[in-house]
Structure 1
Amino acid sequence: MPVGDRLSPIERTWSAGWTAEMLPQPRDTLDRVIILGATPIGNLGDASGRLREALTTAPIIAAEDTRTARQLIRALGLEAQPQLVALHEHNEEAASPALVERARAEDVLVLTDAGMPTVSDPGFRLVQAAVAAGVAVTCLPGPSAVLTALALSGLPTDRFAFDGFLPRKAGERDRMLASVAREERTLVLFEAPHRLADSIEAIARAMPDRRIAVCRELTKRFEEVRRGTAAELVDWAKAGVKGEIVIVIEGAVPVLADLDAAVEQVLRLKAGGMRLKEAAAEVAEATGHPRNALYQAALANPTTA
């Protein structure tokens, strides 16, 4: 029998490269911290063992919505009676100093309604205040709508950017999308279901033929991922979509850093028989350089007849 078959589960874990230091470690009871706790984004089964322990032992919980925090404790079947304090976008700046001072004497667990605190959710200002005051901050990793959608999208995951919610107003949304249209990293965005169709149409205008994935109700019973170009998904979105929405957008084709190289490409196409305007348009589409800039530079080149 192979040696690996005689190993216990923990020993097999160690044999894969883990060490004893990676097992749960006891904390010094004098070491008080602010704890950022990632909560389930839909499926309660995603609540980690560390989160359950923190919910049970933390004397104070700073929650985006105290009612949601109570519901989570009950739903997980935990017997805990922590002090619940509201920490949301409207009071975070004012509430943070007092919470930081309390964290000098007792642990403060920070929760948002779903997912990781500070990521498009309250918690960032509290962490800033804690760092400035020299109070320790730690994190209980766990569910993240951003990473879950990115993993399911089928789009490149090696480099990505997260830009939170799209602007609500059409003009601001169009300007924002225009500003990121040449972003080469995969882009992750949040959107409300009642604005989804308008947003997908705006993406289609700003980034024609760009692949996207629309992920909704992640980890929940009716989880769904729709993939295609923005234009291909408009009719689906207009039919009505419910639930929490994450949009993942393919990055742009890399722009040539050297304009001269792009102009040379235009000139090669012209030398091959293509009209100058058509050559400039083709290279502009491929490189991201403005079509008119390429046309004027090629026109000024001495080799252009």
Structure 2
Amino acid sequence: MLYIIASPIGNLEDLTLRSIRILKEIDLIFCEDTRVTKKLLRHYEITKPLLRYIDDDSKINFYRDKLKSNDIALITDAGTPLLSDPGYKLINIARQNNIDVTSIPGSSALMTAVSLSGRKMNNFIFEGFFSKKSTDQLILSSKLRYRTKDTFLFDSPKRINATLNFLKNKLLERDVIVFHELTKLNEKVIAFNLVDLPLYDFKPLGEYIILISGTTIKYSKIDEDFSTYIKKEIEYLVTNGLSLKNSAKIIADIFDLPRKDIYNIWIDKN
């Protein structure tokens, strides 16, 4: 059996009773960092063998053999596994070998931020960690300019100020919420408009989540960055079997843009 266990994101008391019981009963724990997991286990007086897990194809046979002969828990340093953390390959290995998999729900930094946002959250988009690649950053900023849904990003403490300045330069005026050190004693939830960013200085310590509000303007000028992104998306969809008409419709629906404008971007490419 493979158990997917959510770990505390800051406060060790947030591990669920069921998770504690399972961790005491299983044979082996796959974890992100053995040092971090040892601290958690020590708090609950649990002693189990630990193995560092990474999504590495060269270790498939090793992971398969361990799964076949042990009840195993997969746990990350903080939060729910697979949410911007490794683990999806392990689950696929288990299922391909008819090994049962179940999830033990618990802490999630993303869902904690959602519940603290104070915004109507029937629909939102999670983009994972803000990319270090400049091309990916430009594509994301173009999507954010046209996206009407709220967007969540994870970001590292070393890059938080640079990321916010980048967003300010690209989005100009947009409401954001910065979540810092959730569930910890110095937890902070800071809501402001990017125009006022110079008034804030975020410390390069701890974990950050950024909520970027969706635009209230459904349509504005399509810029060069966005056009480049659209061309790549249409090419991907067409290459994978969709008609040009359906591809343009899908992208137009996503961004609340006229289909003819999306189609014309593709025509200009050719």
Normalising by structure 2, we get a TM-score of 0.75
**Rounded Cα–Cα distance in structure 1 between residues aligned with 2:215 and 2:60:** 39
Is residue 30–residue 51 contact of structure 2 (8 Å, CA) maintained in 1? yes
Runs of 4+ in 1 over 4 A off after TM superposition: 287-290
CA distance in 1, matches of 2:135, 2:198: 19
| Secondary structure, aligned partner of 1:218 | coil
Residue number in structure 2 paired with 1:158 = 122
- State the partner residue of 1:87: 53
Q: Deviations over 1:216-247 (max 9, x none)?
A: 0000010001101122234313x635311001
Separation of aligned partners in 2, 1:163 and 1:120: 9
Q: Does structure 2 retain, via aligned residues, the 8 Å contact 1:155–1:250?
A: no
**Contact preservation (8 Å) 1:87, 1:95:** no
Distance 1:234 1:151 in 2: 27
**Aligned partner of 1:247 among 196, 210, 213:** 210
Instruction: Check conservation: 2:7, 2:78, Cα contact below 8 A.
Output: yes
- Report the RMSD for the aligned CA atoms in angstroms: 2.3
Partners of 2:38 and 2:186 lie apart in 1 by 25
Structure 1: how far apart are the matches of 2:170 and 2:150?
A: 15
* Mapping for residues 1-305 of structure 1, pairs under 5 Å: 33-76=1-44, 78-80=45-47, 82-89=48-55, 92-237=56-201, 240-253=203-216, 255=218
Whichever residue aligns with residue 252 of structure 1, its letter is T
CA distance in 2, matches of 1:102, 1:52: 21
- How far the C-alpha of 1:71 sits from its partner, in A, is 1.3
- The answer to whether the Cα contact below 8 Å between 1:60 and 1:109 also exists between their aligned partners in 2 is yes
Q: Which runs of 5+ in 2 are unaligned?
A: 220-254, 262-270
Q: Aligned pair in 2 of structure 1 residues 165, 156: CA closer, same or farther (>3 Å)?
A: same
Q: Using a 3 Å threshold, how does the CA distance of structure 1 residues 200 and 234 change in structure 2: closer, same or farther? A: farther
**Of the two structures, which has the highest relative contact order with CA contacts closer than 8 Å and spacing of 6 or more?**
2
Output the amino acid matched with 1:181: R
Once residues 112 and 151 of structure 2 are traced to their aligned partners in structure 1, the CA distance between those partners, rounded to angstroms, is 13
CA contact (8 A) 1:201 1:231 kept: no
Gaps of 5+ in 1: 1-32, 257-286, 294-305
Alignment-mate amino acid for residue 59 of structure 1: D
**Quick one: distance in 2 between partners of 1:242 and 1:64?**
20
Q: Is the 8 A contact 1:97 1:129 kept in 2?
A: no
1-side partners of 2:161 and 2:84: how far apart?
22
CA contact (8 A) 2:23 2:46 kept: no
Give the greater-gyration-radius structure (CA).
1
Equivalents in 2 of 1:172, 1:124: separation in Å? 23
Whether the 8 Å CA contact 1:65–1:88 is kept in 2: the answer is no
Query: What amino acid sits opposite 1:187 in the alignment?
Result: T
Q: Distance in 2 between matches of 1:240 and 1:65?
A: 24
SS at match of 1:175: helix
1:170 deviation in Å? 4.3
- 1:217 and 1:244 in contact (8 A); partners too: yes
- Normalised to the residue count of structure 1, the TM-score between the two structures is 0.67
Matched-pair contact (CA < 8 Å) for 1:156–1:250? no
Q: Distance in 1 between matches of 2:148 and 2:93?
A: 33
Q: CA deviation at 1:94?
A: 2.9
In the TM superposition, residue 55 of structure 1 has moved relative to its aligned partner by 1.7
